């Protein structure tokens, strides 16, 4: 299951490999399939040195070391933080641990790249961003779809003004599968269901492309196994819809799910409609990995880009490149808080006007 103001990280930098003679040394906390993928992509692009890894599952450590034999395994985050040469920590652990582990790393003087969600709610996310600001350390979150070529093309069109007044955005992420780890289904550990797992990506893409306008009102409907969810603090949703009104006058409509009989593995899209036409980021043939960008003119469609696109793990590469340049805290981290606040409103965690 799938799950930085950016331009394409392989174009603006000119090359994905940094030219500095000294690469930042990184520790990796959690090297299951996502963590190991991020580690391998960072290593392949030669933007940082993988120094040490830690995982509670010995088989994960063995698999990671087979890929990066120069690294060494240690038994905890504390052990990683004690490594004076480590400049950054890449975290890919269950969601319940993200905030505390990120804050501990920042307070130890390390930059952090963390899997989403950064926090299970806006309050946790705010504490993490405040810790990054206080420590003056670079903070990144794996909002990976920003780094697809297709979304980069969509971003360019939206930012160009060619669409005129953008009045509607449709966001969809339906997954025919569901998470295979028990903690995903405990809201105390996960922070929620399909919205915080999948919807977070789409909310981020829409707000990012639109320069993070004010979200004035949110109305949502959550379901679990076909029944309305009345207490999202006790039950995680597997289907959700949400309507969001923006200060610009635009309307965002979100729909996301786990285990949906969608007729294919996944349906993923972010479509922007304006008075001058439309543009869309969408997957092809039910794929979690292959995306296209399309520009719409009435009944005519123009394809802006097509697969293949080696985007997986590129968010980590971009973060490592910035770390290599000596970048500290960046105010862009406040975007993580803005997205978390919208998710809180979808879950009804505080008044939708608040």
Give the domain CATH number at 284.
3.30.360.10
In a domain, 7, yes or no: no
State the pLDDT at residue 191: 97
Secondary structure element (H or E) that encloses residue 108, with its range: none
Do 281 and 323 share a domain, yes or no? no
CB half-sphere exposure, 261, CA atoms < 13 A = 2
Q: Structural domain tally of the chain?
A: 2
Judgement on whether residues 155 and 299 belong to the same structural domain of the protein = yes
- Residue 351 covered by a domain: no
| pLDDT per residue as tens, the chain (354 positions) | 333 333 333 333 333 333 444 899 999 999 999 999 999 999 999 999 999 999 999 999 999 999 999 999 999 999 999 999 999 999 999 999 999 999 999 999 999 999 999 999 999 999 999 999 999 999 999 999 999 999 999 999 999 999 999 999 999 999 999 999 999 999 999 999 999 999 999 999 999 999 999 999 999 999 999 999 999 999 999 999 999 999 999 999 999 999 999 999 999 999 999 999 999 999 999 999 999 999 999 999 999 999 999 999 999 999 999 999 999 999 999 999 999 999 999 999 974 333
Determine the pLDDT at residue 22: 80
Residue 187 and residue 302 share a domain: yes
Q: How far apart are CA 194 and CA 177, in angstroms?
A: 11
Whether 29 and 120 map to the same domain: the answer is: yes
Backbone φ/ψ region at 237: left (φ over 0), alpha (ψ -120 to 50), beta: beta
Q: pTM of whole model > 0.95?
A: no
Find where tokens 């919208």 sit.
342
- At 38 the pLDDT is 97
The answer to the question of residue 225 being in a domain is: yes
Residues 242 and 297 in one domain: yes
Q: Are residues 41 and 99 in the same domain?
A: yes
Res 107: pLDDT = 98
- Is residue 13, in this structure, part of any structural domain at all? no
Instruction: Using DSSP bridges, classify how beta strands 251-257 and 239-246 pair: parallel, antiparallel or unpaired.
Output: antiparallel
**Whether 123 and 152 share a structural domain:** no
**175 in the same domain as 58:** no
Determine which helix (DSSP H) or strand (DSSP E) holds 340, and give its type and residue range. Answer: helix 334-346
C-alpha distances in angstroms, 241 versus 70, 133, 200, 249, 344? 47, 34, 13, 20, 14
Residues 151 and 296 occupy one common structural domain:
yes
Peptide bond into 117 cis (omega under 30): yes
Distance (Å, rounded) from C-alpha 25 to C-alpha 249?
A: 46
**Whether residue 135 sits in one domain with residue 253:** no
Domain that holds residue 206: 146-309
Q: Is residue 227 part of a domain?
A: yes
DSSP one-letter code for 223? E
Both 155 and 242 in one domain: the answer is yes
Is residue 37 located within the same domain as residue 180? no
Q: 3-state DSSP call for residue 123?
A: helix
Q: Is 168 helix (H, G, I), strand (E, B) or coil?
A: strand
Would you say residue 123 lies in a domain? yes
List, in sequence order, every beta strand (DSSP E) within the chain: 25-29, 49-54, 72-73, 88-91, 111-114, 139-141, 166-175, 215-224, 227-228, 239-246, 251-257, 266-274, 277-283, 291-297, 300-305
Give a yes or no: residue 248 inside a domain: yes
CA atoms within 13 A on the CB side of 266: 19
Is residue 347 a part of any domain in this protein?
no
Give the relative orientation of helices 200-209 and 334-346 as an angle to the nearest 10 degrees. 120
The rounded distance, in Å, linking the Cα atoms of 214 and 163 is 20
């Amino acid at each position: 299951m799938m799950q930085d103001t950016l331009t394409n990280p392989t174009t603006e930098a000119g090359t994905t490999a940094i030219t500095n003679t000294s690469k930042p040394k990184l520790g990796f906390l959690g090297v299951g399939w996502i963590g190991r993928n991020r580690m391998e992509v960072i290593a392949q692009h030669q933007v940082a040195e993988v120094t040490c890894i830690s995982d509670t599952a010995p088989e994960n450590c063995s698999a990671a070391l087979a890929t990066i034999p120069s690294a060494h395994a240690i038994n905890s985050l504390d052990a990683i933080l004690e490594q004076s040469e480590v400049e950054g920590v890449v975290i890919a652990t269950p969601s319940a641990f993200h905030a505390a582990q990120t804050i501990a790393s920042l307070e130890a003087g390390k930059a952090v790249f963390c899997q989403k969600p950064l926090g299970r709610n806006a309050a946790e996310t705010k504490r993490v961003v405040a810790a990054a600001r206080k420590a003056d350390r670079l903070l990144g979150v794996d909002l990976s779809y920003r780094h697809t070529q297709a979304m980069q093309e969509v971003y360019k069109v939206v930012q160009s003004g060619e669409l005129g007044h953008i009045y509607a955005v449709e966001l969809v992420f339906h997954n025919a599968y569901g998470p295979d780890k028990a903690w995903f289904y405990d809201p105390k550990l996960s922070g929620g269901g399909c919205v915080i797992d999948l919807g977070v990506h789409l909310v981020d893409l829409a707000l990012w492309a639109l320069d993070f306008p004010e979200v004035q009102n949110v109305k949502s409907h959550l379901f679990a196994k076909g029944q309305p969810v009345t207490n999202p603090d006790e039950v995680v949703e597997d289907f959700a819809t949400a309507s969001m009104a923006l200060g610009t006058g635009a309307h965002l409509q979100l729909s996301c799910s786990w285990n949906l009989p969608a007729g294919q593995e996944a349906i993923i899209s972010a479509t922007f409609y304006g008075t001058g036409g439309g543009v869309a980021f969408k997957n092809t043939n039910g794929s979690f990995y292959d995306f296209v960008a399309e520009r719409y003119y009435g009944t005519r469609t123009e394809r802006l880009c097509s697969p293949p696109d080696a985007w997986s793990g590129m968010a980590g590469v971009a973060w490592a490149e910035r770390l290599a340049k000596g970048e500290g805290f960046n105010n862009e981290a406040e975007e993580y808080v803005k997205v978390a606040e919208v998710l809180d409103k979808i879950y009804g965690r505080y008044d939708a006007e608040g």
